Amino acid sequence: KNQVEQSPQSLIILERKNCTLQCNYTVSPFSNLRWYKQDTGRGPVSLTIMTFSENTKSNGRYTATLDADTKQSSLHITASQLSDSASYICVVKPGSQGNLIFGKGTKLSVKP
Amino acid sequence: DTGVSQDPRHKITKRGQNVTFRCDPISEHNRLYWYRQTLGQGPEFLTYFQNEAQLEKSRLLSDRFSAERPKGSFSTLEIQRTEQGDSAMYLCASSLARYDSSYNEQFFGPGTRLTVL
């Protein structure tokens, strides 16, 4: 069964600290992996998209990694800001025709 | 604003009533998707259109749900005889599907939050 699992479920960190969110997937065939940021009550916004040949991709203070062999991805947030408080959702696209498979997200709270 | 828009943003209705939501995608995007998201969960796929054709429907889309995209631009999602279990955020997304790209990035709207009393 195609699944995307994220950990931790929630995380609280202090402002300016770094953090890493994890994503494991059991999706085959694999097309690409995406990380989205979703503010409370809003739609998800794309942070990064990676295919199997891309190991790392950065978007400002966000850096995503992908290990297609172990089917793991991580999202590293550097020097966190209060505005980073949101849910971060890992999404995998299976094959070329499959629909996106969403994880449940990690709820990040950045405290002053 | 050239992003995906959804209307209304919030809808409160009584059980048994019908509701209709509208989604306006990014101009020239040929694909439009509907998702449902409940609290603490990731979005779940409901259906998608390529232009005006509805190409796939999830088993989550019961007979009480119907979606249309009559002119290949905006789309509507109607829920008939609403139930309390229909309470959720309904998200719309659009993308420009290209044969030469595997990305097919989806851009999401702000969602319509439905509460069924």
B18 in contact with A at a CB cutoff of 8 Å? no
Closest Cα in chain B, distance from residue A67 (Å): 18
The tokens describing B82, both together, are 């609403």
Q: Which of B42, B102, B105 sits opposite A31 (nearest CB)?
A: B102
Mean per-residue pLDDT over chain A, rounded: 93
Contact A99/B45, CB-based, under 8 Å?
yes
pLDDT category at A1 given cuts 50, 70, 90 is confident
**pLDDT at position A97:** 64
A–B interface: beta-carbon pairs under 8 A: 51
User: What pLDDT does B40 receive?
Assistant: 87
Q: Which position has the higher pLDDT, A99 or A19?
A: A19
Nearest in space to A49 (alpha carbons), one of B111, B25, A81, A62: A62
pLDDT score at A15: 97
Interchain pair B111, A43: CB under 8 A:
yes
Number of H helices, E strands in chain A: 0, 11
Q: Strand, coil or helix: what is A83?
A: helix
Give residue B38's pLDDT: 94
Copy the structure tokens of residue A22.
């994890």
Over its length of 117 residues, how does chain B's per-residue pLDDT go in tens digits?
A: 579 999 999 999 999 999 999 999 999 899 999 999 998 899 999 999 999 999 988 888 889 999 999 988 999 999 999 999 999 999 999 999 876 565 678 999 999 999 999
Out of B44, B58, B102, name the one closest to residue A32 (CB). Answer: B102
Tens digits of residue pLDDT in A46-62: 999 998 889 999 999 99
